[in-house]
Amino acid sequence: MRVLRVALAQINVTVGDLTGNAAKIAAWTERARSQSADVVCFPELAITGYPPEDLLLRPSFIDDNLEALNEVAKATRDITSVVGFVDRNDDIYNAAAVIHDGRVAGVYHKRFLPNYGVFDENRYFQEGSEAPVFEIAGALAGVNVCEDIWYQGGPVQEQAHGGAEVILNINGSPYHRAKHDFRERMVATRASDNAVFVAYVNMAGGQDELVFDGGSMIFGPDGELLARAALFDEELLIADLSLDAVYQYRLHDPRRRKERQEFQRRDGAPRILVSTEAPPERAPAQSRIAPPLDPVEEVYRALVLGTGDYLRKTGFEKALVGLSGGIDSTMVACVAVDAMGADHVVGVSMPSRYSSEGSIADAKRVADNLGIELLIVPIEPAHAAYVDMLRRPLESETGVWEENVQARIRGNVLMALSNRFGWILLTTGNKSEYAVGYTTLYGDMAGGYAVLKDVPKTLVYELARWKNRSAGREIVPESVIEKPPSAELRPGQLDTDSLPPYPVLDPILEAYVEDDRSAEEIVAMGYDEATVRRVMAMVDRAEYKRRQSPPGVKITPRAFGRDRRLPMANRYPN
């Protein structure tokens, strides 16, 4: 019985850290070797980190990445490894190197280059044209990269027709809500459609606005899940694949046999010998199937990993959060504490003449519940100074400008702390506010990372309730959850003075922003036409503000930023 022991190295790499990434790959290769794996697979572009973006335009970056791959190859003994890197050969390719005993035995070039959503791969890479099958420790393995597995007629099928018993698919696949379930279903289908094992390895870690959620997995040729790694954590996932199972499914399917014959006659797949070693005597591998996560916990974990990795990878040790006593800043503080630890988070309460006693008390309670330091900086002196300075040039005592001035005083106080101590300021706005522009540029939009930027307000509430449930005690005070949302920039102000209630607003926003629905279609979903048109106009008008917003974790199918590229000067619909 032929068995291939596959290890999937679900690692967290950093864009541009070529030497650090190479060292990590070498260390994890050694871990897999010590567990007698025949082959260990690393994520897409593991050498460079993903996505390297315009670093790819620098010839020196490509050189250094090749040098780093070479270092990895030199350190690889008694195991085969599959490592994502940038190949250069007339043009550059998003590639996978198949490495054995100190040398690169073969290379695969990604065939399907995503160029939608957050992806820009046509900007950089040439498409590959081949679908080689590698012979690894007596097994026939089709190696391919990420998007390649999303198409039935592509390299997966060609490699299966070309004899592959297992597909090794390496990924840099970013998270959004419920994507893992979708991925798992698709990969299972790909395995059973082609009667082939599929080992899918993803990276785990945050990079700017993206979170790579891990969840590496292995399926049998019947589409059965054999192993699954954790979501959001590094892990070495190992499984023994009984290769002969493939033929159970293949030999009894005359349609598949005919297709395969035709493929072999017409095209064939190149075959590359990597290693012939018989596997050593070894005890069976301990594989596992990690349990699924609660759907709200999944989002929370994405926020924690995305925020934490942004801070770690840009070199911040401490984060600053303006605590208003509202639910958004409370949840940002929760995420920050879970990402960095309570000693690395500082809350700042900045009461104004319009702040309610309740809100000030709530901010204190949140800081207490989380065990973080709380600074209190009343903003009245600056507030009074501005009103005095601006009364004449603004030809008015008060107005919306005075609300914005307060928000910007707070932004200035927080940035002064950030500049003085080198702490990053976390921004507290949520997706609903960013969508309609219910935020102040340079005020509450100030900061280095906007934790909730892609989290609709209604989901912020779900996160708060989940947080209390999972902690088994009150972290988010009930009063914070229950009070009506308010910016507290004038007496008695409520969000509903300016916006529809969030349970109405959020579905309209989802339909418009994420699903590209027209006004007619959204009205047909059961919403008031005037409200729908007003909300859509607010979204369009706020595009210029969002262009100046900090980055934040993508958790929906379409986030603001590179995922959604719209003109600022735009008269549609008109």
* Residue 146 is among the residues annotated as catalytic for this protein: yes
Residues shown for the chain: 574
- Please report whether residue 57 would count as binding a copy of itself according to CB under 8 A: yes
Please name which of 349, 335, 352, 542 lies closest in space to residue 445, comparing C-alpha atoms: 542
Among 44, 235, 433, 510, the active-site one is 44
Among 41, 146, 313, 457, the active-site one is 146
According to CB under 8 A, which residues from 62 to 91 bind a copy of itself? 64
Q: Which is nearer to a copy of itself, 117 or 292 (CB)?
A: 117
- Pick one of 248, 264, 286, 396: the residue that binds a copy of itself (CB under 8 A): 396
11: which DSSP letter?
Answer: -
- Please report whether residue 539 would count as binding a copy of itself according to CB under 8 A: no
According to CB under 8 A, which residues from 99 to 128 bind a copy of itself? 115-116, 120, 122-123
- Please report whether residue 551 would count as binding a copy of itself according to CB under 8 A: yes
Structure tokens at 48: 């460079």
- Pick one of 44, 213, 298, 309: the residue that binds a copy of itself (CB under 8 A): 309
- Please report whether residue 382 would count as binding a copy of itself according to CB under 8 A: yes
- Minimum CB–partner distance for residue 495 and a copy of itself (Å): 19
Q: Around Cβ 23, how many Cβ atoms within 10 Å?
A: 15
210-213 and 204-207 strand pairing: antiparallel
Sheet of strand 80-89, all strands in order from the earlier edge strand to the far edge: 103-109, 91-100, 80-89, 39-41, 3-10, 235-242
- Please report whether residue 152 would count as binding a copy of itself according to CB under 8 A: no
Q: How far is CA 3 from the centre of its chain?
A: 34
- Pick one of 41, 55, 133, 201: the residue that binds a copy of itself (CB under 8 A): 55
Stretch that binds a copy of itself, among 234-242, 384-392, 473-481, 525-533 (CB under 8 A): 384-392
- Minimum CB–partner distance for residue 409 and a copy of itself (Å): 7
Q: How far is CA 399 from CA 1, 111, 413, 518, in A?
A: 80, 58, 22, 34
- Pick one of 3, 45, 51, 84: the residue that binds a copy of itself (CB under 8 A): 51
- Pick one of 133, 211, 239, 409: the residue that binds a copy of itself (CB under 8 A): 409
319-322 and 373-376 strand pairing: unpaired
| Rounded Cα distance, 62 and 60, in Å | 5
- Minimum CB–partner distance for residue 202 and a copy of itself (Å): 18
According to CB under 8 A, which residues from 163 to 222 bind a copy of itself? 206-208
- String of b and e for 380-394 (b: at least 16 CB within 10 Å)? eebbeebeeeeeeee
What is the 3-state secondary structure of 102-115? Answer: CEEEEEEECCCCCC
- Pick one of 34, 129, 276, 574: the residue that binds a copy of itself (CB under 8 A): 574
CB-CB contact of 325 with 476 (8 Å) = no
- Please report whether residue 236 would count as binding a copy of itself according to CB under 8 A: no
According to CB under 8 A, which residues from 500 to 519 bind a copy of itself? 516, 518
According to CB under 8 A, which residues from 17 to 36 bind a copy of itself? 17-20
Known catalytic residues are: 44, 110, 146
